[in-house]
């Protein structure tokens, strides 16, 4: 797959064989490690400059951990994360801080991600101060007012505290904070899942407008396939720490190849009652295995409707089945 990647157009992010294991320890004093939770296990993908890669999957499959490993908020157990050609996993804290200007995060919960003791002007302006991007208080004030305007808020609201805003307004403040340092990449960690449906549409449209205006690149993490289809250029489907399928959004919805992808898409409601009544619904049996003891071979074989004995023998690699369409399944 690496050779395939190198032939693509300009990449901003290149993730290669990423692993993130969290140790499980026993004992109050010696804290002996007894096992590892394999939150992310050998994940590879790339994000082109200016595009949106949607990352979808069930809760607990490793989506958020993958995003935080890219930002180096978690230091990966193994693998490489290349940002603009620079390997981040080998860098020290001082070098990572320089790169952090170009990588920002929009959090899932707009209620807990804003400091309740700071007014919103201070929240948005703090990254500018930390990274020394303004030279005077007047310049800071003007830049904060500009950011308020960019996300559709009035600059006079800057003296208010987070509890005085609605959920949608708080998420706009979170977006403004992420934009403050003019990053190249923004990891959107389920940025609309805690909002009402009507507000979700407003925030999604805002993110699309900002992407066009500032040439942003998004890693959009979500579990709502309808939202992901709307905003993403390509979509990666994740299950139990592994990438199952990556494809262009149109190709993925029109021609899903992996059994897990098919099951996910079959659960998305369709507004047309005639089509909804006639289409096949795929119900997966069993529960998601524990990442503490994942199944041998393909991690999906315990719930897969087309699994055979060979599926237990080895982890299937991502194979290119068409233009930009990668699938990890020996039955495809």
pLDDT tens digit sequence for 262-295: 999 888 777 767 766 677 778 888 888 988 889 9
The per-residue pLDDT of the chain, averaged, comes to: 90
Report d(CA 329, CA 247) in Å as an integer: 14
Q: Sheet holding 242-248: strands in order across?
A: 103-106, 185-189, 217-222, 52-56, 234-239, 242-248, 325-327, 319-322
Report d(CA 249, CA 251) in Å as an integer: 5
Cα–Cα nearest to 3, from 233, 319, 298 = 319
What number of other Cβ atoms are within 10 A of residue 216's Cβ?
Answer: 22
Q: Are 231 and 54 in contact (CB under 8 A)?
A: yes
- Inform me whether the pLDDT recorded for 145 exceeds 60: yes
The domain locations on the chain are 2-102+183-327
Mean pLDDT of the 32-43 span: 91
Confidence of residue 6 (pLDDT cuts 50, 70, 90): very low
Contacts of 83 (CB under 8 A, 6+ apart): 12, 13, 70, 99, 102, 103, 185
Q: Range with the lowest mean pLDDT among 95-99, 213-217, 301-305, 328-332?
A: 95-99
Please name the residue that has the structure tokens 């089509």.
Answer: 275
Confidence of residue 155 (pLDDT cuts 50, 70, 90): very high
pTM value > 0.75: yes
- Note the pLDDT of residue 197: 84
- Note the pLDDT of residue 1: 44
Which is higher by pLDDT, 4 or 161? 161
- Note the pLDDT of residue 8: 47
Kindly state the percentage of the chain with pLDDT values over 90: 70
Which is higher by pLDDT, 147 or 332? 147
Span 2-102+183-327: which CATH code?
A: 3.40.50.300
CA separation (Å) from 83 to 101, 119, 259, 319? 12, 33, 32, 24
- Note the pLDDT of residue 280: 75
- Note the pLDDT of residue 4: 45
- Note the pLDDT of residue 149: 95
Confidence of residue 2 (pLDDT cuts 50, 70, 90): very low
Report d(CA 235, CA 233) in Å as an integer: 7
């Amino acid at each position: 797959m690496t050779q395939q990647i190198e032939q693509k157009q300009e990449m901003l992010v290149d993730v290669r064989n990423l692993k993130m294991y969290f140790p499980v320890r026993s004992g109050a004093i010696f804290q002996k490690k007894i096992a590892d939770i394999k939150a992310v296990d050998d994940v590879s993908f790339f994000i082109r400059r200016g595009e949106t890669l949607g990352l979808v999957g069930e809760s607990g499959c490793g989506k958020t951990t993958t995003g935080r490993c890219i930002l180096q908020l978690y230091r990966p157990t193994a693998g490489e994360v290349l940002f603009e050609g620079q390997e981040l996993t080998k860098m020290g804290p001082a070098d990572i801080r320089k790169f952090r200007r170009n990588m920002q995060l929009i959090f899932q919960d707009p209620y807990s991600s804003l400091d309740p003791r700071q007014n919103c002007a201070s929240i948005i302006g703090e990254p500018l101060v930390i990274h020394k991007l303004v030279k005077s208080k007047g310049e800071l004030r003007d830049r904060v007012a500009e950011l308020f305007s960019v996300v559709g808020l009035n600059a006079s609201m800057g003296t208010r505290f987070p509890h005085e805003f609605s959920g949608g307004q708080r998420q706009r403040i979170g977006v403004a904070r992420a934009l403050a340092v003019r990053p190249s990449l923004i990891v959107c960690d389920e940025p609309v899942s805690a909002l009402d449906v009507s507000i979700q549409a407003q925030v999604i449209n805002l993110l699309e407008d900002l992407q066009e205006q500032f040439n942003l690149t998004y890693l959009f993490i979500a579990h709502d396939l309808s939202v992901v289809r709307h905003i993403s250029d390509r979509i990666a489907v994740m299950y139990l720490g592994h990438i199952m399928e990556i494809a262009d959004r149109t190709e993925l919805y029109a021609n899903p190849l992996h059994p897990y992808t098919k099951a996910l898409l079959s659960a998305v409601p369709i507004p047309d009652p005639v089509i909804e009544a006639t289409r096949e619904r795929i119900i997966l049996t069993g529960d998601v295995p524990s990442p503490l003891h994942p199944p041998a071979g393909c991690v999906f074989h315990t719930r897969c409707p087309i699994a055979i004995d060979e599926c237990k023998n080895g982890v299937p690699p991502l194979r290119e089945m068409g233009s930009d369409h990668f699938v990890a399944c020996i039955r495809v």
